[in-house]
């Protein structure tokens, strides 16, 4: 099965058979149960403000949630809206988010995005998507993660961490750049068809941060270890 998935893009029928053989239904149940107990309550998950949800996704690029969470109060104190951010000086944005890394790129993206939102005042998903796709520095993961968090849309979102989790659990090999491999995205599409898209995305992100880390994963404490091929030595 694994070789088939690596050689070609499977049909929907074959993909379901592959996923079923990897116990992804149990994967979903275990993660959602874990999330109920240990999930993080970040401001961008609890707040209904789309401004906060969107700027957070940009800040989170190659940065931990803990770092962004720590920075948010001071950032929102200076830039409380798209209008405030659009009117700001780029140097001021850079100095505010300096601790996050990728400062120049993120600052430019935040300013340009805010200017477009203020100018066009998007009213629906299509208008939001048009703006996001036009803005440099915003890719498919950021777009889909925003739509999941803001509108609860059933969209697959796969970053490096989620790709690592799916690869370890299934024993399947993926491209190190998640954007260039369809397999984890196809698996994620199946997963979100079986669960609340927000809850499963947040549970996977938190689990990757706390348990299935890039280095020194906590396999002994892992709720998935019974079926995880990584924990069984297939590393």
Q: What's the CATH number where 15 sits?
A: 1.10.1670.10
Identify the residue whose tokens are 């629906």. 124
Give yes or no: residues 178 and 137 share one domain.
Answer: no
* Rounded-to-integer distance, Cα 143 and Cα 1, Å: 31
| Whether residue 82 sits in one domain with residue 29 | no
Q: Does residue 77 lie within any of the structural domains?
A: yes
Domain count of the fold of the chain: 2
Shared-domain flag, residues 57 and 85: yes
Q: How confident is the model at residue 7 (pLDDT cuts 50, 70, 90)?
A: very low
Domain end marker among 95, 130, 151:
151
User: Does a structural domain hold residue 97?
Assistant: yes
Q: Can you give the pLDDT at residue 179?
A: 77
pLDDT recorded at residue 28: 96
Q: Are residues 146 and 163 in the same domain?
A: no
pLDDT for res 173 = 85
Same domain (yes/no): 20, 100: no
Same domain membership, residue 125 and residue 58: yes
For the entire predicted model, the pTM comes to 0.89
Cβ burial of 83 (10 Å; 0-12, 13-18, 19+) is middle
Yes or no: say if 148 and 120 are a contact pair by the CB < 8 Å rule. no
CA-only gyration radius of the chain, Å: 19
Average pLDDT over residues 193-216: 96
Residue 231 has what pLDDT? 61
What is the extent of the structural domain holding 180?
A: 2-38+157-221
Say if 62 falls within a structural domain: yes
Do 197 and 134 sit in the same domain of this protein? no
Final residue of a domain: which of 128, 151, 174?
151
**109, 172: one domain:** no
End-to-end CA distance of the chain, in Å? 17
CA–CA dist 55, 60 (Å, integer): 9
What pLDDT, on the 0 to 100 scale, is given for residue 5? 38
Shared-domain flag, residues 67 and 166: no
Q: What CATH number does residue 56 fall under? A: 1.10.340.30
Asked whether residue 228 is assigned to any structural domain, the reply reads: no
- The band of 3, judged by pLDDT with boundaries at 50, 70 and 90, is very low
Q: What does the pLDDT read at residue 165?
A: 96
* Residue 235 counted as domain residue: no
**What would the DSSP string read from start to end of 171-220?**
-----SSGGG-HHHHHHHHHHHHSS-HHHHHHHHHHHHHHTS-SSS--GG
> pLDDT, tens digit, for every residue of 81-116?
999 999 999 999 999 999 998 999 999 999 999 999
226 assigned to some structural domain: no
- Mark which of 111, 135, 151 sits at the end of a domain: 151
- Is residue 121 located within the same domain as residue 190? no
3-state secondary structure 90-122: HHHHHHHCHHHCCHHHHHHHHHHHHHHHHHHCC
The predicted pLDDT at position 177 comes to: 82
Reported confidence tier of residue 178, pLDDT bands at 50, 70, 90: confident
**Domain shared by 32 and 13, yes or no:** yes
176 domain-assigned: yes
Domain membership of residue 234 (yes or no) is no
Based on the domain organization, do 93 and 165 belong to the same domain? no
pLDDT tops 80 at residue 202 = yes
**Over the chain, what is the mean pLDDT?**
90
């Amino acid at each position: 099965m694994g070789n088939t998935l690596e050689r070609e893009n499977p049909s929907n029928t074959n993909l379901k058979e592959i996923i079923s053989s990897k116990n992804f239904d149990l994967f979903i149940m275990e993660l959602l149960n874990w999330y109920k107990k240990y999930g993080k309550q970040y401001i961008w998950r609890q707040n209904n403000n789309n401004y906060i949800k969107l700027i957070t996704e940009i800040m989170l690029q190659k940065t931990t949630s803990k770092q962004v969470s720590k920075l948010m109060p001071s950032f929102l104190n200076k830039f409380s809206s798209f209008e405030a951010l659009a009117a700001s000086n780029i140097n001021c944005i850079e100095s505010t988010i300096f601790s996050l890394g990728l400062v120049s790129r993120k600052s430019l993206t935040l300013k340009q995005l805010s200017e477009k939102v203020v100018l066009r005042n998007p009213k629906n998903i299509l208008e939001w998507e048009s703006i996001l796709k036009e803005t440099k520095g915003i890719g498919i993961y950021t777009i889909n993660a925003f739509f999941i968090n803001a509108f609860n849309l059933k969209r697959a979102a796969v970053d490096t961490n989620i790709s690592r989790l799916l690869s370890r659990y299934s024993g399947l090999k993926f491209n190190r750049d998640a954007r260039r491999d369809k397999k984890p995205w196809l698996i994620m599409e199946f997963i979100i068809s079986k669960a609340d898209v927000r809850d499963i995305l947040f549970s996977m992100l938190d689990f990757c941060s706390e348990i299935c880390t890039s280095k020194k994963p906590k396999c002994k404490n892992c709720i998935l270890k019974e079926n995880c091929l990584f924990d069984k030595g297939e590393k």
